[in-house]
Amino acid sequence: MTAEPQNIRQHPIYWFNDGSIVVRSRSISNGEVCFKLHESLLRRQSRFVQMMLDSGTSAKEMLIPPELGVQVHDLTALLEHLYHDTPLSAEAPFSHVAAILRVSSPDQLDLPGVHMSARAYFVSMFPQGPQPFAHPSSHLEEALALVHSYQISSIRKGIYYSLVTTSEFEDGDGDLVLENSIPPNGSPGTSSTPRHILSPTDVERCRSLMTGIVKHFTPVLFTPPATPHMACTDVFADQWMPLVITPAISTSGVCKPLEMLEQIKQINWAAEGLCAACVREKTQEWTQEQEDVWEKMDSWLNLEGTKHSLV
């Protein structure tokens, strides 16, 4: 005999008196939560709901099978969108977009239109490089898991780059731990913040990427450039250490080539004595170096030959 759930509760918001169907969703942490919703809205949006109702499920009640992995938090986010309380938008927080991306996917409730929109907003949150490159502030490990789950390769390289250049890693039992990760609904620096562990494949990719970056960029960073003009070459010889190398050492710039090259480009080299022609030439070379690094990352990450999905 199957035991009934011990913790059953109505959702405090999505229980409408005029609703026509009760949707039950089980969660390990929250027990079973019941939503009283409008069947016509769900049927129109969700292929899963259509299939369940057309297969003979009671028109008044529907249990979401636990094996689908639908979380109450994610389902609530979806309902916030469908009922226009917190719709998907460019201003929506990562946790909201990620939740809807999961729950609307073909392997969960299968809402094709919603999933396509969530995917587009998710992609827009992450840089695709190479310059200028702005790092997302958090959620990198969760974002990488979503990239793998839904084969969103267009932002994969940028997420790996942010992981190895902005996160502090700790090796343990062959795993790589992100000490500064901020989980959904969590905050950094608290004892309750879980540590997120990358898969062995991602660990090796991050290590390979860091090794490739340092090996490639170290000679670029620590060698003052030459120019066609002796006077301009002398400027680099005199100023490269105080203006480039010293700041790079203090900020771990050898591990951050895209940012460091951008910083070098922003130095007022004309004020240091470089002629206009050499400023233009070197700026173009540093931009090209950013593009070269971005291209080489495919081989450092062992991503060459993989297909880039269209979003």
Is residue 88 within 8 A of residue 81, CB to CB? The reply is yes
pLDDT at 1: 40
d(CA 253, CA 67): 46
Co-location of 1 and 114 in the same domain: yes
191 assigned to some structural domain = no
pLDDT at 306: 53
The yes-or-no verdict on residue 136 having pLDDT over 90 is no
188 assigned to some structural domain = no
pLDDT at 271: 97
Provide CB contacts within 8 A for 285, sequence distance 6+. 225
pLDDT at 26: 77
pLDDT digits (tens, 9 = 90+) for 32-57: 899 999 999 999 999 999 998 887 65
**Predicted structure pTM score:** 0.82
Q: Cα dihedral sign for 245, 247, 297, 195?
A: positive
Q: How many CB atoms lie within 10 A of CB 83?
A: 15
pLDDT at 60: 81
The yes-or-no verdict on residue 263 having pLDDT over 90 is yes
CATH number assigned to the domain comprising residue 82: 3.30.710.10
72 assigned to some structural domain = yes
Between strands 196-197 and 169-172, the pairing is unpaired
- Please give the residue range of the domain that contains residue 24: 1-89+107-120
pLDDT digits (tens, 9 = 90+) for 205-239: 999 999 999 999 999 999 999 999 999 999 999 99
SS (H, E, C) 42-72: HHHHCHHHHHHHHCCCCCCEEECCHHHCCCH
249 assigned to some structural domain = yes
pLDDT digits (tens, 9 = 90+) for 7-41: 778 999 999 999 899 999 876 666 789 999 999 99
pLDDT digits (tens, 9 = 90+) for 188-203: 333 333 345 788 889 8
The DSSP annotation for the chain comes to -PPPPS-EEEEEEEE-TT-SEEEEEEETTTEEEEEEE-HHHHHHH-HHHHHHHHTT--TTEEEPPGGG---HHHHHHHHHHHTTSS---TTS-HHHHHHHHHHTSTTTT--HHHHHHHHHHHHHTS---SSS----SS-HHHHHHHHHHHT-GGGHHHHHHHHHHH--EEEETTEEEETT---TT--TT-TTPPPEE--HHHHHHHHHHHHHHHHHHHHHHHSPPP-SSHHHHHHHHHHHIIIIIHHHHHTTGGG-HHHHHHHHHHS-HHHHT--HHHHHHHHHHHHHHHHHHHHHHHHHTT-TTPPPPP-
- Estimate the crossing angle of helix 276-300 against helix 200-222, to 10 degrees: 160
259 assigned to some structural domain = yes
pLDDT at 194: 38
pLDDT at 98: 96
179 assigned to some structural domain = no
174 assigned to some structural domain = no
pLDDT digits (tens, 9 = 90+) for 73-127: 999 999 999 999 999 998 999 999 999 999 999 999 999 999 999 999 999 999 8
Number of domains in the chain: 2
